[in-house]
Amino acid sequence: MANFNEKFLDLKESYLFSEVAKRVSAFQQSNPEKSVIRLGIGDVTLPLGKTVVQALHSAADEMGVAESFRGYGPEQGYDFLREAIQSHYSTFGVKLDTDEIFVSDGAKSDTGNITDLFSKDNTVMIPDPVYPVYVDTNTMNDRNIVYINGTAENDFLPMPDRSVHADIIYICSPNNPTGACYNRAQLREWVDYALENDAVILFDSAYECFISDSGLPHSIYETEGAERCAVEFCSLSKTAGFTGTRCGYTVVPKAITSKSSDGREMSLNKMWNRRQCTKFNGVPYIVQRAAAAVFSEDGMKEAKAMIAHYMENAKIIADTMNDLGIRYTGGINSPYIWFECPFGMDSWQFFDFLLEKAGVVGTPGAGFGMNGNNWFRLTAFNNKENTVEAMNRFRSILKK
């Protein structure tokens, strides 16, 4: 029997969502008459847009006819989709070549798989709290991780500490779970830090389409110099309801080079291309047609309407926090509201309190890192009626 990778023993049990489910089902069993509202949902709830569904149907029809049937496609994605993504980037003033864009089955795989390109000796800088994928994939790969703290004092937007060196830096903006979003000056500082340290920034922009503040950057490439140090991951999961349909894209600029320990240079774009061609056979043609439809005029309108629906819910939650004087981030450029647990409770105590007194389910901040111990995440992915009702209950248990 082969020996296993012992680094798997170092992974923390992903006990967050199973523990939440366990406590909710115990509550429902002992309180069958109470209705439970879930604001812990980390998945979209609205169906795919009409334009997207039409594209799925017609691509399926093409696949059933010999003349238009497609087998293996290009590992990097079809040109029609890479061109659609390229024009989406041009709406933020970012110019990319299509061969810098790689279509994939989502941002989770790519943010994990990109670790294939880097030496195990690299030091990885990861914010806390954050999306758990970055920590787990680097733990599996046996890399040294240094954490940077997101706290109320820095509005959950940690900035570079020049006394610490990192080779790989993960940034998620707008952030899951905090909803906080870096501005231009802050990204300028991160890009400068990366260039000074010969580091690469792995920039997760899965929530780019939720940015409503016109001054905030949608892409790290809006910062000059980022094309020499940053890889950007994006996804249609939250933008257009593709969590079950699966399509994302990763930008690896041709200007980024990485060095071996003896100083030889490699192009990261060529390495990622090689990695994908070796281990990945592309996204289904049907799904790529659906993804391209998202970037059409009608498709974008439908995606924006879905996002507007979620953001109306986010505003209902944020308004409640404002009225009750609770400290929070997010809710404006992100579907997440991250707030300080009232009454000095820790996040699991507050979880139980909210469930038992109000029948509302959220996500304890402790599940996203040590700095989340006294914070709590609510999401905008339920419907309006339930969100309003949940916030009415929230107000009634928080008032004296």
Ligand X SMILES: *Cc1c(COP(=O)(O)O)cnc(C)c1O
Nearer to ligand X, 107 or 358 (CB): 107
In a 3-state reduction of DSSP, which class is residue 266?
Answer: strand
- Measured from the CB atom, the residue of 49 and 132 that comes closer to ligand X is 132
CB 273 within 8 Å of CB 339: no
54 or 243: CB nearest ligand X: 243
137, 138, 176, 363: residue in contact with ligand X (rule CB under 6 A): 176
Q: Is 19 left (phi over 0), alpha (psi -120 to 50) or beta?
A: alpha
Instruction: Choose between 43 and 97: whose C-beta lies nearer to ligand X.
Output: 43
| Binding to ligand X, residues 208-247 (CB under 6 A) | 235, 237-238, 243
Number of other CB atoms surrounding residue 373 within 10 Å: 15
Residue 245 gets the label, from left (phi > 0), alpha (psi -120 to 50) or beta, of alpha
Residue 37, interface with ligand X (CB under 6 A)?
no
Instruction: Pick the piece of the chain touching ligand X (CB under 6 A) from 51-59, 82-90, 102-110, 345-353.
Output: 102-110
Residue selected from 81, 84, 107, 202 as contacting ligand X according to rule CB under 6 A: 107
Q: Candidates 75, 204, 232, 340: give the one binding ligand X (CB under 6 A).
A: 204
Pick the closer one to ligand X by CB: 106 or 367.
106
Of 85, 166, 206, 321, the one binding ligand X by CB under 6 A: 206
Comparing CB distances to ligand X, the nearer of 41 and 345 is 41
**Which CB sits closer to ligand X, 103 or 358?**
103
Residues 14 and 168: their CA atoms lie apart, in Å, by 24
Q: How far apart are CA 394 and CA 322, in angstroms?
A: 13
Answer for the pair 16, 364: CB distance below 8 angstroms, yes or no. Answer: yes
Q: List the one residue out of 187, 243, 211 whose CA is nearest residue 331.
A: 211
For residue 108, state whether it binds ligand X (rule: CB under 6 A): yes
CA–CA dist 78, 86 (Å, integer): 12
**In the complex, what is the shortest distance from the CB of residue 64 to ligand X, in angstroms, rounded to a whole number?**
28
Q: How many CA atoms lie within 13 A of 156 on its CB side?
A: 29
Under rule CB under 6 A, residue 172 binds ligand X: yes
Q: Choose the stretch contacting ligand X; rule: CB under 6 A; options: 2-10, 101-109, 277-285, 312-320.
A: 101-109
Q: In what order do the strands lie in the sheet with 375-379?
A: 328-330, 336-340, 375-379, 363-364
Determine, following the binding rule CB under 6 A, whether residue 248 of this chain makes contact with ligand X.
yes
Structure tokens at 125: 């800088």
Touching ligand X, residues 311-340 (CB under 6 A): none
If the CB atoms of residues 235 and 333 are measured against ligand X, the closer one turns out to be: 235
- Report yes or no: 188 and 226 within 8 Å, Cβ to Cβ: no
The site string for ligand X over 124-163 (x = CB under 6 A, - otherwise) reads -------x--------------------------------
The interface mask with ligand X, positions 249-268, x = CB under 6 A, is --------------------
Number of residues that bind ligand X (CB under 6 A): 13
Give me the residue whose beta carbon is nearest to ligand X: 106
Residue 156 near residue 150, CB atoms below 8 Å: yes
In the complex, least distance from residue 236 CB atom to ligand X, rounded to whole angstroms:
7
DSSP annotation string for 305-345: HHHHHHHHHHHHHHHHHHHHT--EEESSSSSEEEEEPGGG-
Under the rule (CB under 6 A), what is the footprint of ligand X?
106-108, 131, 172, 176, 204, 206, 235, 237-238, 243, 248
